[in-house]
Amino acid sequence: MKKLLLIFIAFVLFSSNTTDEGMFPLTELSKLDLAKAGLKIPLNELYNPNGTSLVDAVVRVGGCTGSFISSEGLIITNHHCGFSSVSSASSAEHNYLRDGFYAVEKEKEIKTGLTSKIIDSYVDVSVQVLEGVNQAGNDINRSALIRSNTQKIIKNEQLKNAALDYEVSEMFAGRTYTLFRYKTLKDIRIVYNPPLAIGEFGGESDNWVWPRHNADFCVLRAYVAPDGSSATYSTSNIPFKPKKFLKVNAKGIKENDFVFILGFPGRTYRHVPSQFVEYQQQYLMPFIADLYEWQIAKMLELSKISDSKQLYYASKIKGLANTSKNFRGKLQGLTRTHLVVKKKNDEKLMDEMLHTDDVRGTDKNLFKEIEETYAMMFARASKNVWLQQVGNISYLTAACNNYLALKKMYLIGDTAVKPFIEGARMALANYNPEIEIPTMAHLIFMALNFPSAQHVKSVDDYFIGLNENAIELKLKTMIKKSVFNDLEKVKLSLTKNSGKALNTKGELFDFVRALVDDLRENEKFVAPWQAKVAALTTRYNAAEMLMNITSYVPDANSTLRLTYGYIKGYAPQDAVYHKPFTTLNGIIEKHTKEGDYVMPPLLKKIIDEKNYGEWMDKDLGDVCVGFLYNLDTTGGNSGSPVLDAYGDFIGINFDRAYTATINDYAWNENYSRSIGCDARYICFVLDKYAHADGLLKEMGVRK
């Protein structure tokens, strides 16, 4: 017992986790002392499963979070969350992305392809999901049974009520599962979007960086059918009436004020073995960052051709750049914090604990099995990452799917070809040779430079010895002559003799045939490997909980979570301190005549005239633009409302500081800071720049 106690004390001292971190599921809120932390409202006003609460004002918007801010279905989320929709609605004549957009009347609001999900209810379904799992026999059967049970639960729910959407989310790996029921709003329209030079002031130069000076917000409106049911876009639809909407506090906040966020953070990886992080750090993130940066450079070059090209590539560049810079930040953070080493220290203590006589039901071979299992993936890591990325090339995906359809028809007589034809049609419709062919060539060239043991056979067979330019020229010739380049030929091949079609001659067809073999070989390895890892992670989490029972918070998984903390600055590096607020004066300091820091002349005029009105912070002597807080956030929290101690809206979360990009793997009070756009700057832009008095009245800021 004395040895076990010493191990536990050492774990607490050396553990990479801290008791301050937390993206807390709704079920865990009653265990928190939020009143002591600073919350000024009763917990049931924040979350009440039997009534209306703040939770009812928070929604998922695409892959982001949003919140209702009026009784007429107004949703506020990030500018970058609505970016693609605004880009799609824009044209060279009406460039809403560049110039901004404001619908003075509801009839002028622009439809989008966005949907919004509201939690209707949720229930623990762990018993149903895990039914029969202990008798599954092996890891593959276990994973298959969990998937089957999950699908059965969702199917039964759909039979009961087809009007809702359903998701089963794993809360504690391999242990607990929750069924979430969502009402999906399918008619979402753009009400206001600031011009790019305001909404994205600082561009990629400031992405993942503090200080920030951009108004990263947009305003949408949700609509439903006249009977209140969810419906796609129709002129007869009416604004949605939410159960709850947020009150906007435009009076301001102070340093050290208590704040909290409700949102849908994406996947985090804090309760995983050190080898998982090692794989990300050594292989996955560097590969993707390098590839995306290469694609961005190519797209920027193509964007110079015309305004239409610039619009076409804008959202693609933004998405790639966001991921690339995020990964670079993670890589820097992982190196600086020595997270892998810290986790290995934790695991050594956990392993010692599992070998003590005082621990019942020990799992003494756990860490040996983890090491052996990940060693198998490390031996083929570059090849595995490459084969995953090939799937993002729409042309190659369509070609591979077409070949697989032919093979399926020939082998088992399956004639259900319509899905494959539709897939080919969509892939070819999205096919853009000016970027896809160079990307294919670049990927192939990367594969040729892998260690010999990880070479991709199909690539070696058809491109060995070629440089990147020669690969691109060869691909152009192969594609030009290919059956996959013509939808009618694809249809013909899928509706005629499949055996004959399988023997189609052509170099691209031969390459695709060989590539499919490589993909299948990799899949045969990856599927059982993933099943084994899932089972090991469940056992790993059990060992973690034995060591650290009181502070174990499950990883985020795109379900609604709460995180809380305080308005705080920080010191990201030696001799540097970042204050928690930025102001309009900072925009003037950054302003340039070209590049990422150009601001609209009207905004400069307003700032020069100091026409701040009621939005000025008396202590700052200026309008607060952005602010920092030590809350625990990650991807998916974009657009989350930042709320004060009374549950009022004081800003909108939109980013993390560069040092906090590793929040997916670890959180630390010293370097984890998130960034919000102040409600006063949002109101300032709507008032002084957009003259959107109607919106301010609807939001309750003005009478």
End-to-end CA distance of the chain: 67
Helical H segments across 43-93, by residue range: 43-46, 83-89
Two tokens at 656?
A: 């993390």
Q: Would the pLDDT of 355 be above 90?
A: no
CB 157 within 8 A of CB 179: yes
Q: Would the pLDDT of 411 be above 50?
A: no
Ordered DSSP codes for 601-633: HHHHHHHHTT--GGG-BTTTTB-EEEEEE----
Region of 68 on the Ramachandran plot (φ > 0 left; ψ -120 to 50 alpha; else beta): beta
Question: What mean pLDDT do residues 459-471 have?
Answer: 95
Distance CA 11, CA 224 (A): 53
SS (H, E, C) 499-512: HHHHCCCCHHHHHH
Q: What is the pLDDT of residue 545?
A: 84
Residue pLDDT, tens place only, 288-304: 999 999 999 999 999 99
Distance CA 50, CA 136 (A): 38
Residue pLDDT, tens place only, 421-447: 676 677 777 778 899 899 999 999 999
* 42 or 353, higher pLDDT: 42
Share of the chain above pLDDT 70, in %: 89
Helical H segments across 381-506, by residue range: 381-390, 394-412, 418-430, 433-448, 457-463, 468-480, 487-495, 498-502
Distance CA 655, CA 677 (A): 9
58-61 vs 176-185, strand pairing mode: unpaired
Q: What angle do CA 465, 467, 472 make, to 5 degrees?
A: 115
Q: Spell out the CATH class of 32-115+186-264+559-703.
A: mainly beta
Two tokens at 7?
A: 């191990």
- Bridge partners of 578, per DSSP, are 570
213-222, 368-377, 415-424, 533-542: segment of lowest average pLDDT: 415-424
pTM across the whole model: 0.86
Ordered DSSP codes for 517-538: HHHHHHHHHHHHHHHHHHHHHH
Q: Which among 421, 427, 420, 422 has a CA at the least distance from the CA of 397?
A: 427
Question: What mean pLDDT do residues 212-228 have?
Answer: 97
| Mean model confidence pLDDT for the chain | 89
Share of the chain above pLDDT 90, in %: 68
Residue pLDDT, tens place only, 262-280: 999 999 999 999 999 999 9
Q: Please tell me what DSSP assigns to residue 553.
A: -
Q: What is the pLDDT of residue 531?
A: 92
CB-side neighbour CA atoms (13 Å) of 634: 25
| Residue pointed to by tokens 């005549």 | 593
* Residue 27: count of CB within 10 angstroms of its CB: 15
Q: Would the pLDDT of 158 be above 70?
A: yes
Amino acid of residue 30: S
Tell me the three state secondary structure of residue 337. Answer: helix
Q: pLDDT grade, residue 128 (50/70/90)?
A: very high
Q: pLDDT grade, residue 14 (50/70/90)?
A: very low
CB 663 within 8 A of CB 634: yes
Q: Would the pLDDT of 485 be above 80?
A: no
Amino acid of residue 453: A
Q: What is the pLDDT of residue 413?
A: 47
Residue pLDDT, tens place only, 669-701: 888 999 999 999 999 999 999 999 999 999 999
Q: pLDDT grade, residue 138 (50/70/90)?
A: confident
Q: What is the pLDDT of residue 3?
A: 52
Q: Would the pLDDT of 25 be above 80?
A: yes
Q: pLDDT grade, residue 492 (50/70/90)?
A: low
Q: What is the pLDDT of residue 405?
A: 61
The radius of gyration of the chain's CA atoms, rounded to the nearest angstrom, is 27
Residue pLDDT, tens place only, 552-570: 788 999 999 999 999 999 9
Peptide bond into 211 cis (omega under 30): yes
- Bridge partners of 170, per DSSP, are 177
H or E stretch covering 577 = strand 576-578
| Residue pointed to by tokens 């705080």 | 568
Q: What is the pLDDT of residue 536?
A: 94
Q: What is the pLDDT of residue 7?
A: 45
Domain ranges of the chain: 1-19+340-373, 32-115+186-264+559-703, 120-185, 274-337, 393-541
- How many residues are present in the chain? 703
Amino acid of residue 417: V
The helix, strand and coil proportions of the chain, stated in percent and rounded to the nearest 5, come to 50, 15, 35
| Residue pointed to by tokens 């691109």 | 472
| Residue pointed to by tokens 């506090």 | 249
CB 387 within 8 A of CB 499: no
Q: What is the pLDDT of residue 265?
A: 95
